[in-house]
Structure formats: C-alpha cells, structure tokens
Amino acid sequence: MPEGVGIGTIILFAVAALFGVMGIVFIFLFGRYFKLWLRGFSSGAGIGPLSLVFMSLRKVNPTVIMDAKIPAVQAGLTSVSTEALEAHLLAGGNVRLVVRALIAAQRAKIDLDWNTAAAIDLAGRNVLEAVQTSVHPKVIDCPDVKRHGRNSLDGVARDGIQLKARARVTVRTNLSQLIGGATEETVIARVGEGIVSAIGSSDTHQEVLESPLLIAKQVLDKGLDAQTAYEIVSIDIADIDVGDNIGARLQADQAEADMRIARAQAEERRAMAIAIEQEMLAKTQENQAKVVLAEAEVPQAMAQAFENGSLRAAGNNS
C-alpha cells in the first residue's frame, strides 16, 4: 500500500473515531435530557435538545432554565428569552424567582420588565416579595419595639404636656426606586420624626387628642417616602397617651435654679458686707492706735517746749 494512502486512511479512521465518540457523548447527553426536552416540547418552551446539551457544556443547569422557561411561556412572557435566562443564571441570579415575580406583576398589571426584575434580583432584593408588597401593602409599626426597644414616640406640645404616640404606617413597594432606595429603617425614622415635630407644633395637647388624624395628615403631606424603596399609603395613629407635664417640671426646675442663684448672690453680698465691716473695724482700730500715739507725743512735746523756753507758765512775763 502506498505511503500516502496509509496516512489518509489513518486520518479518516481518526476523524471517524472522533465523531463516533462525540456521537456517543451526544446520545448519552440527549438520553439524559430527553425527558426534560420532551416536557419542554409539550409545553411549548422552544428549547431544543442541542440547546440542552450545549447548556450542560457551558455549565448551565438545563433543568433550572427549563423550569423557568415553561411558566414564562405559559404566562405569555414573550420578552423572556432562553439566552436571558442563561445569562442571569450565570450571573448568580435566581431565574425562577424572577420569572415568578414577572408573572405576578403581569397578573397585577404592574409595569415590570425583565431587565428591571433581573437587576433587582442581582442587587440582593427579593423581587417577588417586592411585587407582592406592591399588590398587598404591608404595615410597619412606628416605632418598632423589636428594632428600637421603644414603645412610643414622645413629643411635647407647646403647653408643655408630653404625648406618647404609636403609629402604623402602610407602605407598598416602589419598584422604580427599589434599587438604591432607602429601606424600612429610613421610613420609620422619618415618620417618627414627623410625628414628634407635628406634636411639638401644636398649641395644646388637647388639639392632638381631639383630632389625631390631623397629625397623621400633616406628616403624610411632607413626602417622607422620597428616595425610599417604598410608597407611603397611609399613616394611622394607633394609640396616643398623655405623659408628664414637662413644661411644669421645667418651670419648677428653672425656679429652683433661680432660687439657688438668688441664694448664691445673697450669700455673696452678705460675705462682701461682712468683709467691708471687718475692714471698717480694722480701720477704726488703726485710727484709735494713731490717736493713742498722738496723745503719747503731747507730753514729750510740752517737755521739749519747756526746755527750749518756748512755753512759759501762766502769769510769768519774763
């Protein structure tokens, strides 16, 4: 046999063997995913057997893709392609959860597309829970005892009476601001600050007790849900109690402080008076000492005058 024919035969056998091996692998993989393909085919998922095999080669779980594609097709989500599902799964996303969220949003007539839902999922937010909260708003206690350890929001009206309030805030998810929007903590903090401020701006505590709804409306009108992941639906004052008379206590404390200041000033004046009195006594004693010294010098002066002849006895003319 010529040398060239032998090399060609060897190459032909090698190619045939390679295709044979690939065929065996393909038959094995196809047999492995045959039931999965048949389920997708009967559901109209539009994923062929070769696509399932190539998914396996790309280290993409075909079962997860098929489980997400079938309900998407059945729900009429034509914008969800197989390639988009694969890309989201490779990025670490939860394709089943995203598809369920899109179906729920479609049923509720909420505007939510695949790109937004996938971005929310990759951002670490539960997109299905967000859609469910948009449909069924949830209620947040303000303050939340479990988070802050406080039972009430304490505010003081202008008449000095303390009021202890508890509110319930009904919110729904704002899908357009879910990525990067502030969480429940911010909503609770803003609502609490607004209620305390509204109580403080009231002239008397009776106004708040008579119409707590005005306080809630005043807080709601401030737009506290700006730049948050939620939209505030309503704010309801669940309970409000009268606390201490802070104004009277402050006045009493101020009076006590004023009295202490007055006592200190009086004590200072008394001490100054005593010091002045002692100073005057010292000056008196000093003057008395000077008088005694002056009196002691008179006899000496008289004796000196007699000696000098400048002082004569009475009736002596010589």
Predicted pLDDT at 97? 93
User: Is the C-alpha dihedral spanning 191, 197, 202, 204 positive or negative?
Assistant: positive
**Final residue of a domain: which of 135, 159, 175?**
135
Query: Once rounded to an integer, what is the mean pLDDT over residues 118-125?
Result: 89
- Report yes or no on 157 lying in a domain: yes
User: For 231, what's the count of Cα atoms within 13 Å in the CB-facing half-sphere?
Assistant: 14
Number of structural domains in the chain: 2
pTM above 0.85, yes or no: no
Residues 121 and 210 in one domain: no
Q: How far apart are CA 286 and CA 171, in angstroms?
A: 89
CA 209 from chain centre, in angstroms, equals 29
Which residue range is the domain that position 179 belongs to? 138-246
- Match 């959860």 to its residue by tokens: 97
Same domain, 130 and 176: no
Q: Which of 225, 246, 267 is a domain's end point? A: 246
For the segment 128-176, what is each residue's pLDDT rounded down to a tens digit?
998 988 888 889 888 887 776 778 888 888 888 888 888 889 998 888 8
Domain co-membership, 47 together with 77 = yes
By percentage, how much of the chain surpasses pLDDT 70? 90
- Higher confidence at residue 298 or residue 119? 119
Residues 125 and 150 occupy one common structural domain? no
Last residue of a domain, one of 229, 246, 263: 246
Tell whether 40 and 98 lie within a shared domain: yes
* Co-location of 82 and 93 in the same domain: yes
pLDDT band at 16 (very low <50, low <70, confident <90, very high): confident
State the Cα–Cα distance between residues 17 and 19, nearest whole angstrom.
Answer: 5
> What is the tens place of the pLDDT at every residue in 51-83?
887 888 788 888 898 889 988 888 888 888 889
Residue 238 lies in a domain: yes
Instruction: Give the CATH number for residue 188.
Output: 3.30.479.30
Tell whether 284 is covered by a domain. no
Give yes or no: residues 55 and 150 share one domain: no
